[in-house]
Chains A and B, each alone.
Chain A
């Protein structure tokens, strides 16, 4: 029993630290942000993820929609883009007004239930803080099962 106390005490101490500082990085269920090319020297930096669309009780997925926002200040020739791909279908969107509060428009890819690839990349070397939002919807636009795994961030 005495061995339990240091464990609990340490965790309690660390928990209070996390609670005090952890809110800086907020991530919602189907949205998230990060920094592409944090070292600022890799034009080819690409983030790759797989989004799974499935029936969570709201109905089978008809399409995936996604949008992107470049939060960094404008740099001439620098743009951040988002691509969706499934099977033989693909679509892309670019945030053409970096640094403002607006996301790009949503782009849809209609490919039913299953696994979609989602990529984010940019035109030239330089760190870009960005956010992405993605949702799987039914044919009537109702949100349905959406999950994600990240494959690459380099």
Chain B
């Protein structure tokens, strides 16, 4: 009887492990909280979904659209005006939080005026390939422009999960998520060395700010409102995706 129970338990564990492997192989790196209401500050996490095949994640690089030269669409149509037409205070509004839970180091990435446009974390033993991991950050209170018709603003977040330090040319020459030097959760169509190799633009994570229609009602002329999307420029990705430490680039090399 005891032997049977042990066998059942072993089979159950094996099944659970296999199921877990299958699940993690499908998990893209995303934000723990992909949707946030405007006007509130929240703690969030980049959730790393898996390693590169069997290789551990040794670092991650995260970039938010800076809103300066970003591409903006409204209801799927291009918008040529500034982001301030829809968001009153995007900087971007993120701040990495210090932790050594997964990686030994974390630091901001700053844009030309000193605003935090992303962050990186790396060093230490990192995340084993079969695990998931959190990289914490804070999202500052983000306000939707009261005079706009935006009911939501979605920012696409470009992320590179690094498994091996490499040159920039090697990033797209591997075998995707099955053993490459990095997993690229990035757009597939910007024309940068960091572009995800994919037929569909399914790489980036996203952070959506939703309008608080009680405190910030839509103007009467807006109808049901519009959904706005913000993507980074190629120039910003080329500038901000590398990891620099004390002004020296350490990734890619």
Contact = CB atoms under 8 A, between A and B. Distances in A.
B193 interface: no
Interface centre among B59, B90, B126, B140 (most CB of A within 10 A): B140
A150 B114 contact: yes
A115 to B, nearest CB: 4
A55 B37 CA distance: 13
Given A11-B122, A11-B245, A54-B40, A149 B93 contact: yes
Contacts, number: 78
A113 B140 CA distance: 14
Interface string B223-253: 0000000000000000000000110101100
Contacts of A3: 58, 164-165
A54 B41 contact: yes
Contacts of B45: none
A55 B164 CA distance: 43
B61 interface: no
A99 interface: no
B141 A54 contact: yes
B208 to A, nearest CB: 18
A121 to B, nearest CB: 16
B188 interface: no
A147 B91 CA distance: 10
Interface residues of B, number: 29
B41 A7 contact: no
A140 B93 CA distance: 27
A8 B246 contact: no
B246 A114 contact: no
B88 A50 contact: yes
Contact of B126 (A4, A10, A18, A153): A4
A151 to B, nearest CB: 7
Interface centre among A147, A151, A152 (most CB of B within 10 A): A147
A122 B245 CA distance: 34
A15 B41 contact: no
Contacts of B219: none
Interface in A1-42: 3-4, 6-8, 10-12, 14-15, 17-18
Interface of B: 39-41, 58-59, 88-91, 93, 104-105, 113-115, 122-124, 126, 140-141, 143, 164-165, 245-246, 248, 250-251
8 contacts: A7-B251, A10-B245, A11-B250, A12-B123, A52-B141, A149-B89, A149-B115, A150-B91
